[in-house]
């Protein structure tokens, strides 16, 4: 006996039926979509904020900034769009067209990747 995951009532009909009704199927799928949409929206917002912070700091091709300044601005080090190693083996993390590299003494090097011009 199969039960509807949305309303918990018994499902009658075809064996492959997953929900008791179209209404339950729709509301179930809407919930799934809205939670994954929220997650994506939250990460996108963090990425946008990170990029805006880097853009505000980096007026030329590269600049140095203290780590604390990034924290104060609300920079989130957990979200990025990619990372790249330079020939010396240092790893740049990228947020779209801006990259950052951890330096000594809690400083960061911020670079603008001009390949995306
Ligand atoms: Zn149902």
φ, ψ of residue 55 to 5 degrees: the values are -65, -40
pLDDT computed for residue 107 by the predictor = 97
pLDDT along the chain (117 residues), means of 10: 93 92 95 90 97 95 96 97 93 96 96 79
CA 6 – ligand 1 centroid, Å: 5
Q: How many residues does the chain have?
A: 117
CA 1 – ligand 1 centroid, Å: 14
pLDDT computed for residue 60 by the predictor = 86
pLDDT computed for residue 114 by the predictor = 77
CA 24 – ligand 1 centroid, Å: 5
CA 71 – ligand 1 centroid, Å: 47
Q: How many CB atoms lie within 10 A of CB 99?
A: 25
CA 3 – ligand 1 centroid, Å: 8
**DSSP secondary structure string, the chain?**
--B-TTT-PBP-S-TT--SSSHHHHHHHHHHHHHHHHHHHHHHHHHHHHHHHHHHHH-SSSEEEEEHHHHHHHT--TT--SEEEE-TTSPEEEEETTEEEEE-STTEEEEEE-GGG-
Distance in angstroms (rounded) separating the CA atoms of residues 111 and 59: 9
Residue among 87, 5, 88, 115 nearest 99 (CA) = 115
pLDDT computed for residue 15 by the predictor = 87
CA 14 – ligand 1 centroid, Å: 15
């Amino acid at each position: 006996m199969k039960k509807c995951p949305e309303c918990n009532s018994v499902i009658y009909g075809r064996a492959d039926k997953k929900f008791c009704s179209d209404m339950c199927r729709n509301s179930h799928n809407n919930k799934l979509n809205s939670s994954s949409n929220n997650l994506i929206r939250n990460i996108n917002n963090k990425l946008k904020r990170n990029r805006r912070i880097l853009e505000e700091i980096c007026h030329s091709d590269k600049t140095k900034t203290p780590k604390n300044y990034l924290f104060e601005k609300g920079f989130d080090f957990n979200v990025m769009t990619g990372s790249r190693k330079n020939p010396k083996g240092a790893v740049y993390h990228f947020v779209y067209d801006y990259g950052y590299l951890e330096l000594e003494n809690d400083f960061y090097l911020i670079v603008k990747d001009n390949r995306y011009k």
